[in-house]
Amino acid sequence: MIWQVALWLTIFAVCIVIEIITLGLTTIWFAGGALVATIVAMCTDSIVIQGLVFAVVSFLLLSQTRPIAKKYFDKKLEKTNIENLIGKHVIVVNEINNMNSQGTVKINDIEWTTRSVDNGIIPAGCEVEIVEISGVKLIVKKCNE
């Protein structure tokens, strides 16, 4: 019985250490299952019952509390509002020519590298619509299309 308690405490400790290192909110739920399995191991010699308790408690913790914990603790990337550029109409500053890797538009006094969605040439002065953002390049189409 003592080796079973030691086993579950070891699993608990390993899960906690992994969680501290990664901060991924993944192994903490299994640490909870291992802790409950440790308590069960003090009451029964059946490794099958202990394993079932570990699996059930881990699953319940994972499925019921992970979404709540992620909402409060998992920090997302800071939004830059770049998504707001999609659909915006802008004027081409330098001719857009995908074959020559050239083309720019200006938005709020900032020049953006621009490419055509259909690989066509769009002359300077044309109005285009931003349809996608690929890395630091805007993908545009002529407004008349």
Q: What are phi and psi of 71, to 5 degrees?
A: -60, -35
| Residues in a beta bridge with 97 | 102
Task: Report pLDDT digits (tens) over 66-105.
Answer: 777 777 665 555 556 777 888 899 999 999 999 988 999 9
Q: Which of 14, 8, 15 is nearest to 49 (CA)?
A: 8
- pTM, 2 dp: 0.49
- List the chain domain ranges: 2-73, 82-142
CATH architecture of the region 82-142? Beta Barrel (2.40)
In angstroms, the CA 32 to CA 43 distance is: 17
Q: Which of 2-16, 69-83, 100-114 has the lowest mean pLDDT?
A: 69-83
Q: What are phi and psi of 97, to 5 degrees?
A: -145, 100
